[in-house]
């Protein structure tokens, strides 16, 4: 933990102590707002969670922080930064620490897998709803039925400042569907979740160094109507995600492998992508250190378990590396 991180935690402890001691409602509200902004990362500096390289530590710490943020939201419900931090925290926790580990469980632990995915689904939805609550601070129509004309109008009127909350609302929505693809209600609302992400994409296609592009890798690859066209669109978004992250994010490589190469049974291409993910240096982008650590663990796991995903994994020739031309476009 660096000096900036320690300072943030010290300030947060002090703020929470003062909040319990000060009698004035206005001063108390100011303290709560300041504490919320520290947790939300609005005060600047490196994020103490995303820059960490110990996923187990973050997995243990994040639930307490999320509940603390919820408590602060009860005192400061107009804090958009805090709604954003809490929404993104729940969606990220569901993905990184529930759904991803669940997918790596052996088939013999299917009961644990089902229970973990059910938890992930619940937290995805919680994060989605919190993102919508944050959007509703400036436009109450975001609390209307997403199928309504009022919600559609709010989406059309959304501006650049709404992009982060739009992104996490959509990520939570479709994350829940990925955790439970047999939920008919979520399946029927799939297009609504996608419409929110499309709006975010229209407003800022380069948001967060290609995060929306990475989202669309899996989304388009899973389109049932025209799988070939869907995979081509996925490849486009993959290239954009790599370009915008300047190759410092291992996640697009893993995402394309999962979404496209397994479906195509392209074993060599899949291995190349996992190796590319492992080539990323987490120290080049401190704010991506946590996601790179998690995704690189996942890439190593895939390479150790190729036979679970590819019919010809048993006959795979590791001499593929001799012909590697370092072209990741495919």
Q: CA 68 to CA 16: how far, in whole Å?
A: 10
Matching fold, domains 54-204 and 205-330: yes
- At 321 the pLDDT is 44
Q: CA 203 to CA 160: how far, in whole Å?
A: 6
Extended beta strands in 117-238, E state: none
Residue 11 tokens read as 């300030």
Tens digits of per-residue pLDDT, 244-254?
999 999 999 99
Q: What is the reported pTM?
A: 0.85
- At 251 the pLDDT is 97
Q: CA 36 to CA 79: how far, in whole Å?
A: 8
Tens digits of per-residue pLDDT, 217-263?
999 999 878 889 999 999 999 999 999 999 999 999 999 999 999 99
Going by C-beta distance under 8 Å and a sequence separation of 6 or more, which residues neighbour residue 14?
none
Angle, CA 214 vertex, CA 294 and CA 287 arms, to 5°: 50
- At 22 the pLDDT is 52
Q: CA 233 to CA 215: how far, in whole Å?
A: 12
Q: CA 144 to CA 163: how far, in whole Å?
A: 19
Using the 8-state DSSP alphabet, how is residue 306 labeled?
A: G
- At 16 the pLDDT is 55
- At 5 the pLDDT is 55
Residue-range domain boundaries for the chain: 54-204, 205-330
Of 133, 128, 135, residue with least CA distance to 157: 135
How many residues are listed for the chain in this entry? 330
- At 312 the pLDDT is 85
Of 179, 172, 174, 236, residue with least CA distance to 210: 236
Going by C-beta distance under 8 Å and a sequence separation of 6 or more, which residues neighbour residue 156?
199
Of 329, 279, 327, 270, residue with least CA distance to 302: 270
Does residue 28 register a pLDDT over 80?
Answer: no
Confidence of residue 49 (pLDDT cuts 50, 70, 90): confident
Does residue 306 register a pLDDT over 60?
Answer: yes
Q: Which CATH class is domain 54-204?
A: mainly alpha
Phi and psi based region of residue 215 (left: phi greater than 0; alpha: psi -120 to 50; beta: remaining): alpha
Q: Would you say 142 and 170 are in contact if contact means Cβ atoms under 8 Å apart?
A: no
Q: What CATH number belongs to 205-330?
A: 1.25.40.920
| Count of C-beta atoms within a 10 Å radius of residue 156 | 9
Please give the full DSSP string across 39-97, using - where no structure is assigned.
HHTTT-S--TTTT-S-HHHHHHHHHHHHHHHHHHHHH-TT-HHHHHHHHHHHHHHIIII
């Amino acid at each position: 933990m660096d000096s900036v991180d320690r300072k943030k935690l010290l300030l947060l402890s002090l703020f929470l102590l003062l909040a319990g001691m000060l009698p004035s409602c206005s001063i108390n509200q100011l303290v709560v707002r300041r504490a919320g902004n520290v947790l939300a990362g609005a005060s600047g500096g490196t994020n103490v969670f995303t820059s960490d390289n110990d996923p187990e530590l973050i997995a243990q710490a994040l639930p307490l922080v999320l509940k603390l943020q919820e408590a602060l939201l009860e005192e400061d419900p107009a804090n958009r930064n805090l709604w954003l931090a809490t929404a993104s925290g729940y969606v990220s926790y569901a993905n990184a620490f529930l759904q991803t580990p669940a997918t790596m469980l052996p088939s013999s632990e299917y009961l644990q897998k089902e229970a973990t995915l059910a938890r992930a689904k619940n937290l995805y939805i919680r994060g989605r709803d919190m993102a919508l609550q944050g959007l509703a601070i400036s436009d109450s129509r975001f609390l209307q039925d997403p199928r309504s004309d009022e919600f559609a109008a709010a989406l059309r009127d959304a501006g650049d400042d709404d992009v982060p909350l739009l992104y996490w609302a959509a990520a939570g929505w479709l994350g829940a569907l990925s955790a439970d693809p047999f939920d008919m209600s979520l399946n029927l609302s799939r297009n609504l979740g996608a419409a929110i992400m499309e709006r975010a994409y229209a407003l800022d296609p380069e948001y967060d160094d290609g995060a929306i592009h990475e989202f669309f890798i899996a989304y388009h690859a899973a389109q049932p109507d025209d799988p070939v066209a869907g995979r081509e669109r996925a490849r486009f978004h993959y290239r954009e995600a790599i370009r915008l992250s300047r190759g410092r994010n291992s996640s697009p490589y893993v995402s394309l492998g999962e979404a496209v190469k397994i479906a195509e049974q392209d074993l060599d291409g899949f291995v190349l992508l996992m190796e590319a993910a492992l080539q990323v240096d987490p120290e080049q982008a401190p704010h991506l250190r946590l996601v790179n650590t998690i995704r690189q663990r996942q890439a190593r796991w895939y390479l150790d378990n190729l036979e679970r995903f590819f019919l010809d994994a048993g006959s795979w020739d590791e001499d593929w590396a001799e012909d590697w031309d370092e072209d990741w476009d495919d």
